[in-house]
Amino acid sequence: MNNIPRIGDNIINNQIINQNVSNQSADSGEIVGSPSEKPSDTPQTEQKEYSLKQFRKDYLNILKTEVYPKLEPFEQKRIKYTSNLNLGLAGTIILIIVYIAIALLLGTEISIKFILGIFAAFLGIRHFFKKQLENEIKNQVMPILMEAVPGFKWTLNCIINESEVTEADLYPYSSDACYSTDDNFIGSYRGVNIAITEGDYCRGSGNDKTTLFHGAIIRLRMNKNFEGLTVIRPKSHTTLINKLENIELEDIDFIKKFKVFSTDQIEARYLLTTSFIERFKGIMKAFDTDRIYCSFYKNYVYIAPYTTKDLFSLANLSETLTDTYQYDLLFEEFASILELVDHFKLDKKLGL
């Protein structure tokens, strides 16, 4: 992260007035966010400048004055959920012990799969209650927290849908996989329209579940249409839907980890400059991952860093809801995504 430009290092010349974004409805084309999304026709007549210091100050002030007072009834519910889940865990352990004891007495084989299934069921129940509480909290506090991020709106409604991700050939497709989303954000930063979706793309369930992708899917609207489709994939995940030509690049470190495919070799080489590749490598440090997918398609750049953690989480059942760590983490996760615009210097249009 130390090599990544911070929001505070480059003054944010932002953009859309909060009121304009708050008036967007979840049912509008802006919120649904299909490839036909159009930039706002509202002139950006008001500019605000935020340093990271001021950004964090506003965020913490909103936490203390507006968010924490709303959390008291949810804290009582968290305590109740935690107590019940602790009883459930104790019951699960007792059930497994009884099962093993009976199996030993009868001389039958102990099924590890059965034991893992019991634990998986418990973890599934725990996750259900956590997400239920988290969604209740987020409906109350996330719109308030977004007041500290000028020009952005949070919603649980899907912004980046499966069809456009598939059409852009962003990451490996499977006909039997299920696509789901959690947190979604839409707004504008440094004149670039941004949509962010926490996406989960899995095949199977329970012990047989295979996660093909989990992480942030970031869509950046460019100032031009790309003539072809250009895709960057980790070397171990190169299965494509479209028939694309393999593009050989000269950067040795890059081609050790990634492969590039395109329908237009000339455009691909025009896009994937040495400067772009260096910025792309830096995203691995920003998201602490070695799996990042990218697609240049129509007038969008899609960037999808893979991560195993639950992004934008606000309900740690093991900690009080006013624990500052989870809100600091939320701030840093959101800030790191905004930094991509600075990192790619898309406000300068990368010459595209």
Reported as type and span, the H/E element at residue 293 is: strand 292-297
What is the rounded average pLDDT of the residues 308-325? Answer: 82
pLDDT of 45: 33
| Residue 20: pLDDT over 50 | no
Q: Is residue 77 part of a domain?
A: yes
Q: Is residue 1 part of a domain?
A: no
What is the rounded average pLDDT of the residues 134-141? Answer: 86
Q: Is residue 42 part of a domain?
A: no
Please provide the average confidence, as pLDDT, over all residues in the chain: 78
pLDDT of 345: 58
Q: Is residue 54 part of a domain?
A: yes
- Distance of alpha carbon 260 from alpha carbon 258, whole angstroms: 7
What is the rounded average pLDDT of the residues 267-277? Answer: 85
Q: How many domains does the chain have?
A: 1
Q: What is the pLDDT of residues 44-89, one digit of tens each?
A: 333 344 455 667 788 888 888 888 888 888 888 899 889 999 999 9
Buried b (16+ CB within 10 A) or exposed e, 197-235: bbbbbbeeeeeeeeebbbbbbbbbbbeeebebbbbbbbe
| Residue 43: pLDDT over 70 | no
Q: Is residue 342 part of a domain?
A: yes
Tokens of 10: 């480059």
Q: Is residue 41 part of a domain?
A: no
Sorted by sequence, the CB contacts under 8 Å of residue 322 that are 6+ apart come out as 68, 71, 75
Domain extent for 206: 7-35+48-351
Residue 25 pLDDT class (50, 70, 90 cuts) = very low
Q: Is residue 197 part of a domain?
A: yes
pLDDT of 343: 61
pLDDT of 237: 87
Q: Is residue 266 part of a domain?
A: yes
